[in-house]
Structure 1
Amino acid sequence: MSPADQLILLHPDDNVLICVAPIAAGDILPTSGGTIPAREGITVGHKVARGSLAAGDKVIKYGAPIGSMTAAANPGEWVHMHNMKSDYIAAHSRTTVTATGS
C-alpha cells in the first residue's frame, strides 16, 4: 500500500493528516517536508502530524482548532490524547453554558 492510500488531508490549513488505512512502524509517510518512516503503528481514524508540533500548538483539523498539544510531535508522529488535549470540551462545559445561558 502506498503512503497516499494511508493518509488523507481534510483541509489545506490542517496540520494533521488522517489515517484511513492501518500504518505499521516503518511505513513511509508523507509530511509537509517530504517523507518520514512511521515511528509506531497507527490505527484508522487517528491523526498524524504533518509537520513539527510543539507543546501548546493548536491542532488544526477540518480547518479549525480541535485541541492543543501537551507534548511535542515530530512530522509523521501520532497525534492523540497521549500528546494533545481537547480544547473544545473545556470551552463548552455545562458551567459555561449555564453561566451564559440566562
Structure 2
Amino acid sequence: MTTTDTRLLLLSDADNVLVARATIEAGETVAVSGTPVTLTARVIMGHKLARRTIPAGALVLKYGAPIGTATRDIGIGEHVHLHNLKSNYTATHSLEAARADAEGEQQ
C-alpha cells in the first residue's frame, strides 16, 4: 500500500496528478505515493501536483483523461499548472491572460 497525504486526492488510478483538497504552503512536506516531497511553491485548493515524474511532451491525465501536455519535465510532487502545462483544448490567446494571473498567485 502506497501512502499519499490526505490533503491530496486521486481522482482515477490512471491519473499522473493529484488534486489538492486544501491549500498547502511552500516548505511543507507531503507524501506523494509514499515519497516525501517538500513543496517549493504554495499550492492552492483544487490545483494539481505531479503523482509521478511527467516528462516534457507527455499527456497530463486527470479523471483518467488527458487535460493537456507537459511543456517541460515535471518532478514528483511539483505543482502542475499553466507554467508547465499546455492545454490541448484552450486557445493560446486565452491562456496568456490565465498565465499572467497564475504568476500573480505564486508571488
Q: Distance in 2 between matches of 1:32 and 1:61?
A: 16
2:89 match? 88
Gaps of 5+ in 1: 91-102
TM superposition shift of 1:36: 1.1
Aligned length: 88
1:95 match? none
* Secondary structure class of the residue paired with 2:90: helix
Q: What value does the CA root-mean-square deviation take over the aligned residues?
A: 1.5
Provide the TM-score with structure 2 as the length reference.
0.75
Q: Distance in 2 between matches of 1:67 and 1:33?
A: 26
TM superposition shift of 1:64: 0.7
Structure 1, residues 15-65: CA drift from partner, whole Å, max 9, x if none?
000011011112122223522111111111101001111110100000011
Q: Distance in 1 between matches of 2:38 and 2:59?
A: 24
Gaps of 5+ in 2: 92-107
Q: Distance in 2 between matches of 1:22 and 1:33?
A: 20
1:11 match? 12
TM superposition shift of 1:88: 2.3
Provide the TM-score with structure 1 as the length reference.
0.78
Q: Which has the larger radius of gyration?
A: 1
* Secondary structure class of the residue paired with 1:89: coil
2:79 match? 78
